[in-house]
Chain A
Amino acid sequence: MYGFEAMTFNIHGGYLEAIVRGHRSGLLTAADYNNLCQCETLDDIKMHLTATEYGPYLQNEPSPLHTTTIVEKCTLKLVDEYKHMLCQATEPMSTFLEYITYGHMIDNVVLIVTGTLHERDVQELLEKCHPLGMFDSIATLAVAQNMRELYRLVLVDTPLAPYFSECITSEDLDDMNIEIMRNTLYKAYLEDFYQFCQKLGGATAEIMSDLLAFEADRRAVNITINSIGTELTRDDRRKLYSSFGLLYPYGHEELAVCEDIDQVRGVMEKYPPYQPIFSKLSYGESQMLDKAFYEEEVKRLCLSFEQQFHYGVFFAYMRLKEQEIRNLMWISECVAQNQKSRVHDSVVFIF
């Protein structure tokens, strides 16, 4: 019922939308970041953060603080908020919220599989996993030797199972395979999420298709840049691009044949929304691309809060919060390693 969300949305979604908007106003502001960037030690950061929404999570930490503790606690807050929202959600919002975590699930699967491949301790790996992407049998991933086993043993129980249909091979797992698997999974995930949002319709579909298209395009660019100079064939590369987004399909054709970063740039500059991102970069530079993309993403995510009665705000909030945690991690690292001059390199202000 496009355009009529206002009539019925609040029956199920009103409370949670209010909650998520409340959470959003708790995000750190530019003034907070300015203060944080001036901190001398991690204790200063802690002191500043205890005055924000993070207070209850950090105040009981004993004093020699580590970056990991800060990040862990901040993530814990995000997870608590997410769990609270998920508890309160009804269909189809609960499914929507679950979709948000699948990305982390894929990352976790890849992390564990790669880790076991390099014979790391499973417990250690588990600690590194993002708590949002945890599922019951995640530790069992270490048992699997190849993808077929991986699927049959563990993943068949998870929501990721359908995404595996494209990448089940009996090949042994190696780094390259895993990376391809990650991207195939991610592609399938994004396409599925996109379909789901289209099915929901209304403002949700409108806003989410925009956000997901951006995500898909960014992944396409990243895949291209990362695969330059590897043995990945053009066809394989094209297979990893999601089948929607602004670049689909003609941009993908062009990206698939790119041989260096400047060619990518040439392709992307044909698309007006991406022009400003690339125009900021000097030729041959790909370091700052991530930050430029992040900034653009944050801008788009913030805009989604301008409209009411849609689920996009939940997605946007989770992403913004993750960006905030990345920022905090970067600032804390810079402070901890006395690299204050680089503190602004990777911080993306949210407002």
Chain B
Amino acid sequence: MELLKNLPEMDLMRSEKMTFVQLIIPVESAHRAVSYLGELGLLQFRDLNDDKSPFQRTFVNQVKRCAEMSRKLRFFKDQIHKAGLQSSALPTLQPDVDLEALETQLAEHEHELIEMNANSEKLQQTYNELLEFKIVLQKAGVFLVSGKSYDTAEGTELDDNVYPSDYPESASLLEQATQSGPPNSSGLRFISGIIPKSKILLFERMLFRATRGNLLFNQAPADELIMDPVSSEMVEKTVFVVFFSGEQAKTKILKICEAFGANCYPVPEDLTKQTQITQEVLSRLSELETTLDVGIRHRNAALHSIGFHLTLWMNMVKREKAVFDTLNMLNFDVTKKCLVGEGWCPIFAKPKIQEALQRATFDSNSQVGIIFHVMDAVESPPTYFRTNAFTNAYQEIVDAYGVAKYQEANPAVYTVITFPFLFAVMFGDWGHGICLLIGALILIAREGKLSSQKLGSFMEMLFGGRYVLLLMSLFSIYCGLIYNEFFSVPYHIFGDSAYKCRDDSCSDAYTVGLIKYRDAYPFGVDPSWRGSRSELPFLNSLKMKMSILFGVAQMNLGIMLSYFNSIFFNNSLDIRYQFVPQMIFLNSLFGYLSLLIIIKWCTGSQADLYHVMIYMFLSPFDDLGENELFWGQRPLQILLLLSALVAVPWMLFPKPFILRKLHTERFQGRAYGILRSSEIDTDSDPGSPRQHEEEFNFSEVFVHQMIHSIEFVLGSVSNTASYLRLWALSLAHSELSTVFYEKVLLLAWGYNNILIRMVGLAVFAFATAFILLMMETLSAFLHALRLHWVEFQNKFYGGDGYKFKPFSFAAIADDED
């Protein structure tokens, strides 16, 4: 007992001791203090303004400003991304700009960018129009020329048409066009323009309907893609020319063009004029192109300079926002000169926090220091384990089930070894183990690189569990050596087999069996068992018994941990009426079974353990006969059976009755006092937790205890049986890999054909990689998980705590990306 108490404290065994603290911060140093605390990241603030909506809080304006700034930053990021630039994350040596300056700077940049965008958009639009005009001129010109010859034969006048356009840029062109020919009220005329290709069919149909078929529609695809100014995507367009007659038709067609977003351009029918306009358009196009280029270069330069600081700024704004969000959790005191904050921190961090607060007071030249003191708290403290890269994954495995109650024994300590070990019992094959090991080592070797970059969800999971993977693979190699399986093939690694054939021909090896001629194989399973008649019975018996031993051992560990929990929380009642009977019950039945297994292994006895266990219950007084393993087994069995029977009422009845007795005793002495004071108390402070502390409901407690006891009694049977999954999965794994080896690889190798061999090898490799290495790993992982969560942790683990979430800049930077 003394030894146990003198052991050094284990960090991971119990969560950090926490304390509830109150901070009283003068307004002038509040911001600095909170940001220093954020850098430290060891204080979890409690929201004191829970009832207020976000915009009623004190620092709502600052939060809004931060949101606005981050919006601008997102805009920059988007622009940079659109321009195809890389936002270089150079750690520039720029000093910390203060927020105000940054805000104005950002506003300037945004203004500049928006203006530039507007300019370039305008230019782009003009450019697009000219480009379209050019295309229309080219394409429509062809129609017109062919139409013209036809036209002169007919003797009809063909007029080129003019219509107003909204675009001032092309005004000069339009003016020229206007002079080219006054519209005629009669005769055949035409409209030419350009329309997105996707709309052309609908457009044509609509035109046909609107003019009742009195039109001629010509179209030709444009050769170039044209940028859509809204979505900045390249769109395929089609040039069309519509010939029609009549004024009314014209207005209709124009309206339809407008409705479909078709841009109409006038094409002079005169060839010389056409070439003249084409020339002009081309020259303007090239001019515009250079202007556009200059504009884009200018913009890219601006974006580039923004890109330099972007990550820095984003981080800064994020931090500022977090600081103000935290400040919003604080309360103003009565004088409105101080902010009051409450929160949890680990005890070891108190000096650090105090130091940070002092620094904040000093740096902000505040007259008054920050008051930092410990308070009483009603609710239970958060759970905080200090983990490192190695233990973190195991802690996560436990936390996934439930976060430990404050200062409760932490199963993660044992999980570090037992989890990979139980996994390996199911996954024992040193060939597969080596494959996993290589994977794990690759992940660990590239740790630095991988941890900084963003991974997919699957890789993230794999990377997070790299140390779990490492131990799992090491243990599978170990178990694989014991099972003597390398991709299901046994090897003579530790010397020769202990068995040999009866004669040289080895003809009866599979029928009668082998004979033993030397000492047992030194380590693991003898390779000669493989393929022999008794391979399966031998391995099954071995693995089944082994599973039960592991199971009983782990469950005992679980019950032991409940003992340590009771010691820690000073709960002698639980030790006497829960821990002791549980120990007795489990060990008198399954502990005894384990003992029998070990004796049987050591003595090589032929006794039938099923028989022993079953008749221990059915007829405990009968003679054991040939199943007797040791002297005095029968009286021992009777004793164990009796103690198991006694243990059940022991864990069921005393505890609730004692609790009731304690409760009544506590209230007997001070019944009057309570009556009076409680009345006053409920009036003055109805929310006080001490009031409803003692609501003792006997039937509830009793039912609870009954459920608990029944669960344990039934559980000890079913949980032991549940550990047999170790055997089942291990068997499945080895059988599966045997099938792939023998029925695929060896079968293919039997053919003397390189092609078949290659195919066989490929199938074997894929089956090994995907079925054995991925799916089997997953299933063994899940079963190991279940054994820990259910069979192990239900013996002692409450898991109803909540995690310590300190206000920390590091965490903020992490979770956003």
Give chain B interface residues in 39-85, CB to chain A under 8 Å.
Answer: 53-56, 60, 63-64, 67-68, 71, 74-75
A48 and B259 in contact, given A136-B202, A143-B252, A153-B209 (Cβ under 8 angstroms): no
Of B56, B255, B259, chain A has the most CB atoms within 10 Å of the CB of: B259
- Which B residues touch A140, using CB under 8 A? 206, 255-256, 259-260
Contact across chains for B74 and A48 when beta carbons are under 8 A apart:
no
A136 to B53, CA, bound (A): 44
Contact across chains for A48 and B54 when beta carbons are under 8 A apart:
yes
A119 to chain B, nearest CB (A): 12
Q: Which of B71, B210, B261 contacts A153 (CB 8 A)?
A: B210
A5 at the interface (CB under 8 A from B): no
- Which A residues touch B71, using CB under 8 A? 59-63
A348 to B340, CA, bound (A): 39
- Which B residues touch A35, using CB under 8 A? 53, 55
Contact across chains for B55 and A48 when beta carbons are under 8 A apart:
yes
B175 at the interface (CB under 8 A from A): no
Contact across chains for B256 and A143 when beta carbons are under 8 A apart:
yes
Q: Which of B63, B64, B202 contacts A137 (CB 8 A)?
A: B202
0/1 string, A136-150, CB within 8 A of B gives 1: 110111110000000
A43 at the interface (CB under 8 A from B): yes
- Which B residues touch A40, using CB under 8 A? 55
A43 to B261, CA, bound (A): 35
Contact across chains for A47 and B259 when beta carbons are under 8 A apart:
no
A39 at the interface (CB under 8 A from B): yes
Q: Which of A44, A62, A136 contacts B55 (CB 8 A)?
A: A44
Q: Which of A39, A143, A152 contacts B259 (CB 8 A)?
A: A143
Contact across chains for A139 and B260 when beta carbons are under 8 A apart:
yes
A38 and B259 in contact, given A47-B64, A152-B209 (Cβ under 8 angstroms): no
A150 to chain B, nearest CB (A): 12
B711 at the interface (CB under 8 A from A): no
Of A38, A47, A59, A61, chain B has the most CB atoms within 10 Å of the CB of: A47
A139 and B259 in contact, given A43-B64, A47-B64, A153-B210 (Cβ under 8 angstroms): yes
B258 at the interface (CB under 8 A from A): yes
- Which A residues touch B53, using CB under 8 A? 35, 38, 48
Contact across chains for B259 and A137 when beta carbons are under 8 A apart:
yes
Give chain B interface residues in 580-636, CB to chain A under 8 Å.
Answer: none
Contact across chains for B255 and A143 when beta carbons are under 8 A apart:
yes
Give chain B interface residues in 97-135, CB to chain A under 8 Å.
Answer: none
- Which B residues touch A43, using CB under 8 A? 64
A59 to B71, CA, bound (A): 7
Contact across chains for B206 and A47 when beta carbons are under 8 A apart:
no
A93 to B256, CA, bound (A): 34
B204 to chain A, nearest CB (A): 12
A38 and B56 in contact, given A137-B202, A152-B209 (Cβ under 8 angstroms): yes
B784 to chain A, nearest CB (A): 33
- Which A residues touch B206, using CB under 8 A? 137, 140, 153-154
A47 and B54 in contact, given A136-B202, A142-B255, A142-B259 (Cβ under 8 angstroms): yes
A137 to B204, CA, bound (A): 12
Minimum CB distance partner of A112 in chain B = B259
A176 at the interface (CB under 8 A from B): no
B329 to chain A, nearest CB (A): 16
Contact across chains for A47 and B55 when beta carbons are under 8 A apart:
yes
- Which A residues touch B60, using CB under 8 A? 47
A197 to B544, CA, bound (A): 62
B810 to chain A, nearest CB (A): 24
A151 to chain B, nearest CB (A): 11
Give chain A interface residues in 30-59, CB to chain B under 8 Å.
Answer: 35, 38-40, 43-44, 47-48, 50-51, 59
- Which B residues touch A62, using CB under 8 A? 71
Contact across chains for A51 and B202 when beta carbons are under 8 A apart:
no
Contact across chains for B54 and A122 when beta carbons are under 8 A apart:
no
- Which B residues touch A63, using CB under 8 A? 68, 71
0/1 string, A56-72, CB within 8 A of B gives 1: 00011111000000000
A163 to chain B, nearest CB (A): 19
A38 to B252, CA, bound (A): 52
A50 to B64, CA, bound (A): 11
A60 and B75 in contact, given A47-B67, A139-B260, A143-B252 (Cβ under 8 angstroms): yes
A61 to B74, CA, bound (A): 11
0/1 string, B742-777, CB within 8 A of A gives 1: 000000000000000000000000000000000000
A350 to chain B, nearest CB (A): 19
Minimum CB distance partner of B55 in chain A = A44
- Which B residues touch A154, using CB under 8 A? 206
A44 to chain B, nearest CB (A): 4
A43 to B55, CA, bound (A): 9
Minimum CB distance partner of B65 in chain A = A63
Minimum CB distance partner of A34 in chain B = B53
- Which B residues touch A143, using CB under 8 A? 210, 252, 255-256, 259
Contact across chains for A122 and B259 when beta carbons are under 8 A apart:
yes
- Which B residues touch A60, using CB under 8 A? 71, 74-75
Give chain B interface residues in 249-302, CB to chain A under 8 Å.
Answer: 252, 255-256, 258-261
- Which A residues touch B68, using CB under 8 A? 63
Give chain B interface residues in 207-232, CB to chain A under 8 Å.
Answer: 209-210
A32 to B24, CA, bound (A): 32
A136 to B260, CA, bound (A): 9
- Which A residues touch B55, using CB under 8 A? 35, 38-40, 44, 47-48
Of B55, B60, B75, chain A has the most CB atoms within 10 Å of the CB of: B55
- Which A residues touch B255, using CB under 8 A? 140, 142-143
Minimum CB distance partner of B205 in chain A = A157
A210 to B229, CA, bound (A): 48
A50 to B60, CA, bound (A): 14
A139 to B63, CA, bound (A): 44
Contact across chains for B258 and A139 when beta carbons are under 8 A apart:
yes
A47 to B54, CA, bound (A): 8
Minimum CB distance partner of A63 in chain B = B68
B578 to chain A, nearest CB (A): 42
A137 to B261, CA, bound (A): 11
A335 to chain B, nearest CB (A): 12
A127 to B170, CA, bound (A): 26
Give chain B interface residues in 159-203, CB to chain A under 8 Å.
Answer: 199, 202
Minimum CB distance partner of A143 in chain B = B255
B344 to chain A, nearest CB (A): 25
A129 to chain B, nearest CB (A): 13
Minimum CB distance partner of A32 in chain B = B53
- Which B residues touch A48, using CB under 8 A? 53-55
A39 to B53, CA, bound (A): 10
**B residues at A contact (CB < 8 Å):** 53-56, 60, 63-64, 67-68, 71, 74-75, 199, 202, 206, 209-210, 252, 255-256, 258-261
- 17 A-B residue pairings within 8 Å (CB atoms): A35-B53, A47-B64, A48-B53, A51-B54, A61-B71, A63-B71, A136-B199, A137-B206, A137-B259, A139-B260, A140-B206, A140-B255, A140-B259, A140-B260, A141-B259, A142-B259, A152-B209
Nearest 10 CB-CB pairings of A with B: A139-B259, A35-B53, A44-B55, A140-B259, A143-B255, A153-B209, A63-B68, A47-B55, A143-B252, A140-B206
**A residues at B contact (CB < 8 Å):** 35, 38-40, 43-44, 47-48, 50-51, 59-63, 122, 136-137, 139-143, 152-154
Q: A39-B55, A47-B67, A142-B255 are in contact. List 8 more A-B contacts (CB 8 A).
A: A44-B55, A47-B64, A60-B71, A139-B260, A139-B261, A143-B252, A143-B256, A153-B210
